[in-house]
C-alpha cells in the first residue's frame, strides 16, 4: 500500500501548480495510471481525499484514466497493448520487447477556480 505516499506526492505537485497559477482551489484532477505502474486505482481513490484534507485540493474530484501497458516488439515493429506483461510478442512471438507506455502515473490535467 504505497498509494498514500503517491497521493501525498500528487497533492504536493498540485499545490505547486496552484501557487504557480495563483488559483483559489482545485476542483477536478485527471490522472492517468499505467496498467503496470503498480498503483491500485481504487486504493488511490480512497487515499486522495485523505491526503487532500486542508489543502487547496480539498474536495477535488479525482478522475482516473487507465493506460494499457504497451510493448514494442523490435523484431516485427508491432505494438502489443496488454493488461499485464507478456513474455512474447502477440504478433510474431518474438521475445525482444521494450515497454513504451503503461508504467507511469501522471497528472494529466486539473481544473481550478
Provide, rounded to whole angstroms, the least separation between the CB of residue 92 and Zn ion. 3
Q: What is the DSSP letter of 41?
A: H
- The pair phi, psi for residue 85, each rounded to 5°, is -60, 145
Among 50, 86, 92, 95, binds Zn ion (CB under 5 A): 92
Identify the residue among 15, 78, 82, 103 touching Zn ion (CB under 5 A).
78
Strand positions, DSSP E, 1-113: 26-34, 61-67, 69-73, 79-82, 97-101, 105-112
Q: Quick one: which segment of 2-10, 15-23, 29-37, 83-91 binds Zn ion (CB under 5 A)? A: 83-91
For 16-28, letters b (16+ CB in 10 Å) and e give: ebbeeeebeebee
Should residue 91 be labelled a site residue for Zn ion when binding is judged by CB under 5 A? yes
Q: Please, which residue, 81 or 108, has the CB nearer to Zn ion?
A: 81
Q: Does 73 bind Zn ion (CB under 5 A)?
A: yes
Answer yes or no whether residue 89 interacts with Zn ion by CB under 5 A. yes
- Burial class from Cβ neighbours inside 10 Å (0-12, 13-18, 19+) for residue 90 reads middle
Q: Which is nearer to Zn ion, 53 or 93 (CB)?
A: 93
Please report, as ranges, the residues that interact with Zn ion according to CB under 5 A. Answer: 73, 75-76, 78, 89, 91-92, 94
Amino acid at each position: 500500500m504505497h498509494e498514500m505516499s503517491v497521493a501525498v506526492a500528487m497533492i504536493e505537485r498540485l499545490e505547486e501548480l496552484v501557487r504557480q497559477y495563483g488559483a483559489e482551489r482545485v476542483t477536478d484532477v485527471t490522472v492517468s495510471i499505467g496498467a503496470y505502474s503498480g498503483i491500485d486505482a481504487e486504493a488511490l481513490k480512497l487515499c486522495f481525499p485523505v491526503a487532500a484534507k486542508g489543502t487547496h485540493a480539498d474536495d477535488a474530484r479525482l478522475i482516473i484514466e487507465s493506460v494499457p501497458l504497451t510493448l514494442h516488439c523490435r523484431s516485427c515493429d508491432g505494438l502489443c497493448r496488454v493488461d499485464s506483461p507478456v513474455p512474447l510478442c502477440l504478433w510474431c512471438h518474438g521475445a525482444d520487447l521494450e515497454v513504451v507506455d503503461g508504467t507511469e502515473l501522471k497528472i494529466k490535467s486539473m481544473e481550478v477556480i
